Amino acid sequence: MKDTSKSYYRGDVLVTGASSGIGKATAKRLAADGYHVFAAARRLEKMTDLKSERITVLPLDVTNEESVRSLVETISAQAGRLDVLVNNAGYGSHGALEAVSLEEAKYQFEVNVFGLMSLTQLILPIMRKQRSGKIINVSSMVGKVSVPMTGWYCASKHALEALSDALRLEVQQFGIKVVIIEPGAIKTEFNDIAKDKVNQASSIEAYQSWIETWNKILESSNQTGAEPEVIAGVIAKAVRAKQPRSRYAAPFDSKFFLFLKWLLSDKLFDRVVLSEIKKRQKLVSYSSK
Active site residues: 19, 139, 153, 157
Do 40 and 58 contact (CB within 8 A), yes or no? yes
- Distances from the Cα of 30 to the Cαs of 7, 34, 130, 277, 285, in angstroms? 15, 7, 21, 35, 38
Q: What type of residue is 33? A: D
How far is Cα 204 from Cα 130, in angstroms, rounded to an integer? 53
Q: Give strand ranges (E) for the chain.
A: 11-16, 35-41, 55-59, 84-87, 133-138, 176-183, 247-250
Nearest to 238 by CA among 186, 164, 173, 185: 164
Do 174 and 131 contact (CB within 8 A), yes or no? yes
**3-state secondary structure labels for all residues of 184-215:** CCECCCHHHHHHHHHHHCCCCHHHHHHHHHHH
How far is Cα 138 from Cα 22, in angstroms, rounded to an integer? 9
For 77, the 3-state DSSP assignment is helix
